[in-house]
Structure 1
Amino acid sequence: MLHVPVTGSSESAAGEGFLSVRGLNKRYGDFIAVDNLDLDLPKGELVAFLGPSGCGKTTSLRMIAGLVPATSGRIVVGGRDLTTVEPYRRDMGLVFQSYALFPHMSIAENVAFGLKMRKVGRAETEQRVREAISMVRLTGKESHRPAQLSGGQQQRVALARALVIRPSILLLDEPLSNLDAKLRDEMRNEIRDIQQRLGITAIFVTHDQAEALTMCDKVAVMNAGRLEQLGTPVELYEKPQSPFVASFIGRTNRFAAVAKNGAAELAGLSIPTPAGMTGKVEVMIRPHRITLSAPADGAPCHAVEGVVTRSIFAGDILQYEVVAHGATFLVEQGTAAHERPLEQGSPVRLHWLMSDTYVFGAAA
């Protein structure tokens, strides 16, 4: 069982976070959807569950919400064990990918639905609905139906409906995947601003690493039902603990090599390996950490001669494929005004810092 504690709050420092998950499992026959998920999340943070399709992130969220029963394990919020508590008694707000708005209801009626189910008084309901609609910048559209709104506006309604009940935890299941790129950027900022303003604990499920890295305090990277690593965006990017995390978070060059006597050979270079590591390894270097100019004097680095085999202009970056000693490197550099990409066949010298080289034991 992998236990990755989150530090940085009085609750997590004591051994349990505001949301504490212990040994959470979900099995469908022989298929393991979630495998011993064990983590603590502090109060007031936005945490992403990030991973590819089928990794268990949505199933984990739905177990926390109570929509899917756990095969085993415990879910505790604020010291209260919710493992077998009905979903509507868990005090959680949910925002779905599909918005899940009632088409025959007005925006105000959609937002008020959760309060109506909780039998909140009329005057208080009206006040809280006004506040929630104002919070998501939809004042004046209270009488509209969902079909009269854009996709981004409908997602704001879904967010207001989740927040109006004043939940202890906000759960968002890929809420931006149906929006275009510009709207996604806008909604990222809006969700983050609202979450910080309210100080609410939130979990954001996504397969988009840009959403996870730009929005969230911490990111839980999942793979094949297991938690690979939990940390801040900077920790995950700069100090990945597995080949999967290194390759899933950002782009990377990935090479197979063999470690022997404290080093592995790559493109004619001797790459230092962690103490005691022998046999098959994976060497990884991020493309934008490789440069084509002379290294700074005295900087410890790896350098190799190569030839450009492909160049791609991508607006803000130039991408090069460079073959060096039989190995193909992807190199990315920022563009400058009127800069001409290097032509195919151009000889180049690649270099990168030792600190930008990751070496992991290869999977058996």
Structure 2
Amino acid sequence: MIQRALLDTRRAVRNALRHAALPGTAALSGTAALSGTADPSGTAEPPGGVRPGVAAPAPRPLVLVALSGGADSLALAAAVAHEAPRLGLSAGAVIVDHGLQRDAAAVAGTAADLARGLGLAPVRLVGVRVTDDGDGPEAAARAARYDALARTAEAERAAAILTAHTRDDQAEQVLLGLARGSGSRSLAGIPPARELAPGVAILRPFLAADPAITRAVTEAACAEQGLAFWRDPHNADPAYARARVRTRVLPVLERELGPGVAAALARSADLAREDAEAFDVMVEEQIEEIVEPAEAGIAVSAAALAANPAALRHRIIRRVAEAEFGIGLGREHTLAIAALVTAWRGQGPLHVPGILVTRDRGRIVFTGAPGARSGMEE
């Protein structure tokens, strides 16, 4: 019987690793690639070791799977264990114990044993302390987890961390973004790849549109390999917004609008991401032309901003604030700054969090103003 889910998860991982352009991931060819016995140095090793006078091949680049023991991450771990050596990579795993459940340590230990059973090495189990700073327990756990992943990747000199977000996760993320009203960048959902730390990529193979990997696929892949996975009770806990979307909102949409809503939302994220990436390129090109240094800050040509459509104008404003001051502007603040361009009536300086914005001699001037606040505070 064809193990379709197993093959799809492997193909997703293979595509992601190849397209990531990590060292050592050049596509292999010939019988060596089929057998998985290729020497990443490109030469056959003689019996007994390396040829005299020939330098030993460099160590294989390492990728680490973020493993929880659930079906998604376990299917990913199994696929990476199979594919990584065929692409000249070493593969290990990192298990983050959040300590949020009574049996968390046992679950983490079981996940580590499963990783070793799949042949992954090294396997690192990292405990973290989750502290909610006011953004909610989900955000706090996520921040602690990614910090642990970044620290482990740097300690192990890993080239990438792979996480097991699926197309279902992407659909949930789009709905959460819609609820926040946070714009097309948020509607683009979870990025398939990004920088986790300097020199370390984070890859999400199961977010690709082809093959489309859902939770049903990862569970089937585990079943096809005889892998017993853990079901996280937090995934059904209504205290968490994502769990409510998963167990309540999406089922209602599927029931009332027909099947395929989750897949359509994930496709919408693909389209929004393409648009956002195109806008990013256009914004960077514009900024190079219209931005200039100013005393204690940076200035942008008001005429150049006015010549752009609103979508680009607002993105340029947000990009300047983020790049120069590390400030993420909300919609109201962005529109208020844009009004200095499109509705200029001689109004005075505008205070937004951390930035003072003025119009001066045809330029919009941004200067640092720690502690500055306005009546628009979100």
Structure (1/2) with the larger helix percentage: 2
Q: Indicate whether the TM-score tops 0.5.
A: no
TM-score by length of 2: 0.31
